[in-house]
Amino acid sequence: MTKRGLLYIGFVGLLFSACIKHEVIPAPTPLVDLEAHFFGVINGTDKEYTDNVIGYANLSTKVKLIQPPGGVSTAVYYAEMSSSQVIPKIKIGIGSVNFDSGVASNPTLTLFNNFFPANDNPLYSDFGAAGFEVSWTDAGGREWLSTESSMHPTASVQFTGITQESDETGDYSKFICNFECLVYSLNPDSLALTPPVAWIDSLLIQDAIYNGWFKR
């Protein structure tokens, strides 16, 4: 092959390689590290729910009460350790975050971030409207709920390790919550009596530690 032919092949090769577009792989987007775990002694028995074990995961929800323009709307935040495979679950809630629904459909990030550190030692409150609420569902699907009128001497709640973080999936308030309380449930057998009555059963949750997160 002549020198001219070799030069031509080399020129075409360089031209071809210059036209190849190299794929640009974007750097990974950092995500908030969301881990969840619950341990407590419920009715004298150890209960433990761990993220990614037997289908358990932390689920964050909120209940909003929206007022007409000019009124104060409220939001109660919940964190729940529940499973897609088994029935028992634990749920805690705390509220209320006051906000102007005429400005935004949810509390602002500033309101969300400021609320939890300012309410790290809340009182018990029905439906979490003005404080803390606990709900436990047993293996039979029966729900047990705390009340603000419980006078059990060990009733307490304390949030620690509160950390606010955000990523492309949302805004989060991570926490460690220690609590003890009585929870109550309507006895279903009592309603079958003649005449029907309403017996309320109770059980004690002790040494409970919920490591989880709320999502704005």
| pLDDT tens per residue, range 38-55 | 999 999 999 999 999 999
Q: Who's near 6: CB < 8 A, 6+ residues apart? A: none
Which of 42-46, 67-71, 204-208 is least confident? 67-71
Q: Does residue 3 sit within a domain?
A: no
pLDDT, residue 30, reads 83
Q: Does residue 22 sit within a domain?
A: no
CA distances from 83 to 59, 140, 169, 215 (A): 10, 14, 22, 19
Which pLDDT band holds residue 9 (cuts at 50, 70, 90)? very low
pLDDT, residue 149, reads 86
Q: Who's near 53: CB < 8 A, 6+ residues apart? A: none
Average pLDDT over residues 162-180: 97
Residue 4 has pLDDT above 90, yes or no: no
pLDDT, residue 79, reads 98
Q: Does residue 138 sit within a domain?
A: yes
Q: Does residue 43 sit within a domain?
A: yes
CA distances from 156 to 120, 133, 153 (A): 11, 11, 9
pLDDT, residue 21, reads 57
Calculate what percentage of the chain has a pLDDT beyond 70.
Answer: 88
Which of 6-10, 67-71, 207-211 is least confident? 6-10
Average pLDDT over residues 79-89: 98
152, containing H or E segment? none
Give this prediction's pTM: 0.83
Average pLDDT over residues 148-166: 92
pLDDT, residue 213, reads 98
Q: Does residue 163 sit within a domain?
A: yes
In the chain, the number of structural domains is 1
Strand 73-83 with 132-137, pairing: unpaired
* Sign of CA pseudo-dihedral 115, 106, 174, 156: positive
Q: Who's near 46: CB < 8 A, 6+ residues apart? A: 39, 40
Q: Does residue 202 sit within a domain?
A: yes
CA distances from 157 to 7, 146, 210 (A): 81, 12, 11
Q: Does residue 25 sit within a domain?
A: no
pLDDT, residue 27, reads 59
3-state class of 7 per DSSP? helix
| pLDDT tens per residue, range 91-124 | 999 999 999 988 889 999 999 999 999 999 999 9
DSSP class per residue in 84-142: SS-S-EEEEEEEEEEE-TTT-SS--HHHHHHHHHHTSSPPB-GGGTTSEEEEEE-TTS-
Average pLDDT over residues 129-148: 97
Q: Does residue 182 sit within a domain?
A: yes
Residue 152 has pLDDT above 90, yes or no: no
Average pLDDT over residues 203-211: 97
For all residues of the chain together, what is the average pLDDT? 89
Calculate what percentage of the chain has a pLDDT beyond 90.
Answer: 74
Encoded tokens for 182 = 């009585």
Residue 58's domain comprises: 36-215
**Beta-carbon neighbour count of residue 147 at 10 Å?**
17
